[in-house]
Amino acid sequence: MFQISSLIDVVKIFLLLMGELLLLFIGISFIVALIQIYLSREKIKRILTTSSKGLNSILGAILGALTPFCSCSTVPILVGLLKSEAPFSGTVSFLLTSPILNPAIITLFLTFFGLKATIVYAAFTITIAVIIGLLLDKLGYRKEFKNISIKGGSNDVLVYEELKGTFIEKNKIAFKHAFFESILLLKQVVPYLLLGAGIGSFIYEFIPQDLLSNFAGKSNILSVPIAAIVGIPMYIRAETMIPIAKILIDKGVGYGTMVALIIGGAGASIPELTLLSSIFKRKMMIAFTLSIFFVAILTGYVFDIIM
């Protein structure tokens, strides 16, 4: 039964979560904007092109983890990489890590789950992305790329290498631009933070702990694959899901279950799959979806064991 005291507790939890998240994203959004200025698409191509497929795949996974690109940005980048004959293994590894491991997710994991969980999450997602990139390259999946062109796009994107002036002048322009971009990015993220904090606060106060721990606790071995399956067709932004995940874990839901849900939703949501279907043929789309599913399940079970 809803009581005034319960609603007051919900508001307190909500304000606490929102205060913490907003402080984080003020800093994160500025760093994200700077990364997009200094790490241009052409620079990504150059970094990924080495004589070693293994190194290409490792570099691709690391770049994916460092670049906070959304799906609408990733697709033009992928088209540019593939059309310029960039190594396929590195491109696939970049594609896999970009949506599920980026500065925002890393910062949120550190804040809510701690250093150990963050290291485990980053290590496994990067390692599996490297292996899948090499495997799909070996199996000849490069031919599953549609020969298309992306028109328009990033003409208004500030690129550090194209700036003119002294070192100080160029960096002053970059930082000023990053500040205004960070405000825009923060405005885009705030609705998701509000949603995540609101849902998390409600769950914390009104959902019985026994119900969640019995259904999705560590003891239920099927909760991890079920969460991965449920997450894949959902459009879950990590900014929304991670605050909710922290509340759910406090309520008894297994670490692995929540990680599987986050990876499935962030890595292979319907909007992202729709965009990727414009550049990949059916066989590659199936391989990509199964890869995300595999990453979600394996990482989820590892989390349940280690955490």
- Tens-place pLDDT, residues 247-262: 777 777 778 888 888 7
- Segment 88-95 shows an average pLDDT of 88
SS3 content of the chain, % helix, strand, coil (to 5): 75, 0, 20
| pTM of structure | 0.67
CA–CA dist 271, 177 (Å, integer):
29
pLDDT of residue 135: 94
Higher pLDDT, 233 or 170: 170
Higher pLDDT, 305 or 23: 305
Closest alpha carbon to 25 in 189, 152, 142: 189
Q: Tell me, what DSSP letter sits at residue 145?
A: B
Mean pLDDT of the chain: 75
- Tens-place pLDDT, residues 95-112: 888 878 877 778 778 877
> pLDDT confidence of 131, banded at 50, 70, 90?
very high
**Of 96-110, 170-184, 202-216, 278-292, which range is least confident?**
202-216
Higher pLDDT, 73 or 223: 223
